[in-house]
Structure formats: C-alpha cells, structure tokens
C-alpha cells in the first residue's frame, strides 16, 4: 500500500498521548521489543506482548513494505533466575537456556508469530533479529566504560553502578515521584551505592556463575546487570536512536527507565526511542496469575487443549493497552468466532488488497476490537466477501489455512474414523429421506459419541466437524 496512507497513530508512554507515527527513516523503520528471560516455560502473560508486537510488526511491514522494517526481539540468557534454576536442576546454564529457548521458539511459532526464518531474505539486511545477551558482552562492556569516563557511572567493590543523580531528567518515561521510584527499584540497597536509586551495570560473578573479564579496571571476573543488556543490543542492531521500543507495562520502571538513562547518557542523545509502547496486564478468571493460586498457565498448556488461533484471537479481542481477563468462556467464544470465519472464507484465496476498514482500525493504536468487528462484517454481510475476509484476517495472523485444510487437520488430530463418519451420515440421510426419525436420531447420536458435530445446510448438503 505504500507508506503515505493511512496514518498510523500510536499511544506513546513517553509523552502520555496518542500521536501520529513519523519514522526517523521511512525506508528503514526500526522496532525493538523485550523478549523472554529463558529460565522457564513461557506463560500466557508472556504470550501477550509476543502476539501484540508481532501484529505491530505485520502492520508496519504492510504500511512501509516488508524490506523496510527491522524488528529486534532480544533473549535474556544471563540472569539471577537462570543461575538459580540451572543449579536447582543440576544442569549447566547453557543447557538450561538453550533448552528453554528452543521450547519458547516452538511455542511462539505455533501461535502464528512471524519468526526470523519467515521474513529474512538471504543476502539482504536481516528484517528480524533475535539477539542473545551473552553474544553482546563486548558491546555492554564498551557502553559501561563510556559511562564511567563520562561521569555517569562509578566503580564500587567490583561493581559498576549508574549514577542516577548525574542525569537531571531521570524518570521522564515512568513519571514517578522520586520516593516511589526508590521504593519500586528492584535492586538491593547496598552500602557502596552513592544513591538508593543507583543501579548495577556490572557485578562480580559468584562461583559457578557465567563470567567475563570486567570493565573499568576491575580485576575480578563478573557479569552484566539486566538493564544494560537491552541498551547494548538495541544500539547494535537498530542504532543509537530508533523508532519504537515495546514491552509489558511492568517493564516501564525500572527496566525501561534505566535503559533510557544508560543509552542517552552513553550516546548523548535526547531520546533512546521516539515511541514507547506498553501492553497491559493479564489476569486469569479475574485473579492475578501465580503458581501459589494454581492458575499459572503456560503457552503449551493452552496449545495442548486449543488450536493456536484460538489463543491468538483471545489475546487480540482486547486492545493491547487494556487489562485482559483470561477465561475459559473467552476461549470458547474465540473458537466459535473462528469457526464462523473459516466457514465464511471457505477455500477462497486472499484478495490482493487488505480491506481498508481493517487497516484503518489497526492504524488507530492497534485497535484490534474494531478490526475484529470489521472481520465480523465481512463474514456476515448479505454478500459475504470471502477473499476480503481472508486478506483482513491474514494481516492479524488468522485464517492461515483454508477451511478444507483446517477440517482435515482437525480430523487428523482427533483420530476420527472418516469412513465410519461418512457411512453414518449416509445412513442418517437415508433415514431422513424415509422419514424414519428414530433411525436418524440414532445415527446422529452415534456421530456425537464419536465427537462429530453435524450441520444440515440450506442447499440440502450435510457437513461435519470434529466437536470440542
């Protein structure tokens, strides 16, 4: 469609307003999102930003062209939680992170999320990069030493700490009062810190932990703090200032606030990213998800029971900045919606143009409820537009297969005996023609017992699906 229309508007956490998006370079739009910390299986709360920012990536590619958008989604593979979990399992840290990352990739690929192999073209600039923290230690060390030289960081007891008071406008992203920021900081108050808000850029490694040569003349080996990782990786892959930085609302403070401080003070730039996007919290049946409440749900838990598109639609029915309540009822509703869309689209190919109503809705700060309403209209209008419906749904990551392919996949997964089903349907059809309603009901009951739902169509045909 080109990058002139329609106008994309996004809510910017940095300014507290919805603004027209103006990329630094329309020929190279750059998006960064905080990815997983690979110490455990990803849960459905982790799935929300992955799905939301996948949709943003798809939309940017649609508006600016697939070759003009770069997406970086990092992997944190050095972290206190990782060290603790590896020790708990009695395995190496690398074994833990490699295995957990492989599981994450399987999970998100099954969610219909675009992956590097889906978009990168050999011989061309990568359009999707997934940097790992441990592959960027050198870049972190370089940044840390630059911050020390500039007077924005200092060495204390083999730590390097960022000197928060050295940055007069620290707190501009989260807009929190000073005392609230101090209370919310994730780092312990240590006697060697000049200010309670100062945060760790580098720390000494404990025995058995991964370690690297330390910066700033520190003799003992150490490892990076959490915040410096994203500053180093985003700068390397997207530049010192880029277009959009995205993540969960829980990351605004201290993680994203500290990223801004490190990057701006290191590079002398007025901003790190022009636009900051944050998705809202997720609850499960009205309660905060936690293992202690017994409502901790992994992505794989859901995918074992529901088709991946059901999970994706359930996430996108709520606009990304709003809190979402994850319920069984919501999953059931999404399943029914997708059935209607697949039936309406049939086996028609996608139209060449995405319906304007779908694009316009997404360009209004990813207004997915409005985009979904437009898909409902295309599916249920007096003259259904199957090609337009499929094109619009494809942009949101739905209707990836035809109705026939989907039905075959459902049958294959269910293990239903197709020949037996067809024989019972033929038996039921003959019984109905003979007005033998008892025999017809027996055939329907037998089908139901096999997990098959039968639908009599207006044209006199009978279709069937595998019931949930």
Cα within 13 Å of Cα(82), Cβ side: 25
Closest CA to 303 of 312, 294, 295: 312
Q: Is 265 annotated as a binding residue?
A: no
Q: Which residues contact 288 (CB under 8 A, 6 or more apart)?
A: none
Closest CA to 232 of 147, 164, 292, 352: 147
Do the Cβ atoms of 328 and 368 come closer than 8 Å?
A: no
The span from the CA of 137 to the CA of 377, in Å, is 51
- Write out the two tokens for 132: 């790992």
Q: How many CB atoms lie within 10 A of CB 101?
A: 17
Q: What is the 3-state secondary structure (H, E, C) of the chain?
A: CCCCCCCCEEEECCCCEEEECCCCCCCCEEEEECCCECCCCCEHHHHHHHHHHHHHHHHHHHHHCHHHEEEEECEECCCHHHHHHHHHHCCCHHHHHHHHHHHHHHHHHHCCCCCHHHHCCCCCCCCEECCEHHHCHHHHHHHHHHHHHCCCEEEECCEEEECHHHCCCCCCCCCCCHHHHHHHCCCCCCCCCCCCCCEEEEEECCCCCCCECCCCCCCCCEEECHHHHHHHHHHHHHCCCEEEEEEEHHHHHHHHHHHHHHHHHHHCCCCCEEEEEEECCEEECCEECCCCCCCCCEHHHHHCCCCHHHHHHHHHCCCCCCCEEECHHHHHHHHHHHHHHHHHHCCCCCCCCCCHHHHHHHHECCCHHHHHHHHHHHHHCCCCCHHHHHHHHHHCCCCCCCHHHHHHHHHHHHCCCHHHHHHHHHHHHHHHHCCCHHHHHHHHHHHHHCCEEEEECCCCCEEEEECC
Do the Cβ atoms of 243 and 24 come closer than 8 Å?
A: yes
Q: Is 259 annotated as a binding residue?
A: yes
In the numeric block, the tokens 């606009």 are attached to 319
Q: Is 230 annotated as a binding residue?
A: yes
Q: Is 236 annotated as a binding residue?
A: no
Q: Is 363 annotated as a binding residue?
A: no
Q: Which positions make up the binding site for ATP?
A: 291
Q: Which positions make up the binding site?
A: 34, 230, 255, 259, 291
Q: Which positions make up the binding site for Zn(2+)?
A: 34, 230, 255, 259
């Amino acid at each position: 469609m080109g990058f002139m229309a329609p106008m994309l508007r996004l809510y910017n956490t940095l300014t507290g307003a919805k603004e027209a998006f103006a990329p630094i370079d329309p020929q190279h739009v750059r998006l960064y999102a905080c990815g997983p910390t690979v110490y455990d299986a990803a849960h459905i709360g982790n799935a929300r930003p992955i799905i939301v920012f996948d949709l943003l990536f798809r939309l940017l590619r649609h508006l600016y062209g697939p070759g003009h958008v770069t997406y970086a989604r990092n992997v944190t593979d050095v972290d206190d939680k990782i060290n603790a979990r590896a020790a708990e399992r009695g395995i190496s840290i690398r074994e833990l992170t490699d295995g957990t990352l492989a599981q994450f990739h399987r999970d998100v690929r099954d969610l219909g999320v675009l992956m590097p192999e889906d978009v990168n073209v050999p011989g061309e600039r990568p359009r999707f990069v997934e940097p790992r923290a441990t592959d960027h230690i050198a870049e972190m060390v370089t940044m840390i030493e630059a911050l020390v030289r500039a007077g924005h960081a200092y060495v204390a007891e083999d730590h390097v700490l960022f000197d928060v008071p050295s940055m007069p406008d620290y707190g501009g992203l989260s807009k929190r009062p000073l005392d609230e920021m101090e209370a919310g900081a994730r780092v312990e108050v240590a006697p060697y810190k000049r200010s309670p808000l100062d945060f760790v850029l580098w720390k000494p490694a404990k025995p058995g932990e991964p370690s690297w040569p330390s910066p700033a003349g520190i003799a003992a080996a150490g490892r990076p703090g959490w915040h410096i990782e994203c500053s180093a990786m985003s700068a390397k892959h997207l530049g010192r200032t880029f277009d959009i930085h995205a993540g969960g609302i829980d990351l605004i403070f201290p993680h994203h606030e500290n990223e801004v401080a490190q990057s701006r003070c290191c590079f002398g730039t007025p901003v790190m990213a022009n636009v900051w996007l944050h998705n809202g919290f997720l609850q499960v049946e009205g309660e905060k998800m936690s293992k202690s409440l017994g409502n901790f749900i992994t992505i794989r838990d859901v995918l074992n029971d529901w088709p991946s598109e059901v999970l994706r639609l359930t996430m996108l029915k709520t606009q990304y900045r709003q809190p979402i309540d994850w319920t069984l009822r919501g999953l059931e509703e999404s399943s029914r919606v997708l059935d209607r869309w697949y039936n309406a689209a049939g086996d028609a190919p996608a139209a060449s143009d995405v319906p304007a109503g779908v694009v316009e809705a997404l360009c209004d700060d990813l207004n997915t409820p409005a985009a979904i309403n437009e898909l409902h209209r295309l599916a249920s209008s007096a003259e259904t537009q199957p090609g337009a419906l499929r094109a619009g749904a494809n942009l949101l990551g739905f209707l990836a297969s035809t109705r026939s392919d989907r039905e075959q996949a459902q049958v294959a997964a269910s293990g239903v005996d197709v020949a037996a089903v067809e024989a019972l349907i033929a038996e039921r059809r003959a019984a109905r023609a003979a007005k033998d309603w008892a025999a017809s009901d027996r055939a329907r009951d037998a089908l139901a017992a096999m997990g098959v739902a039968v639908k009599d169509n207006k044209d006199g045909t009978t279709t069937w699906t595998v019931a949930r």
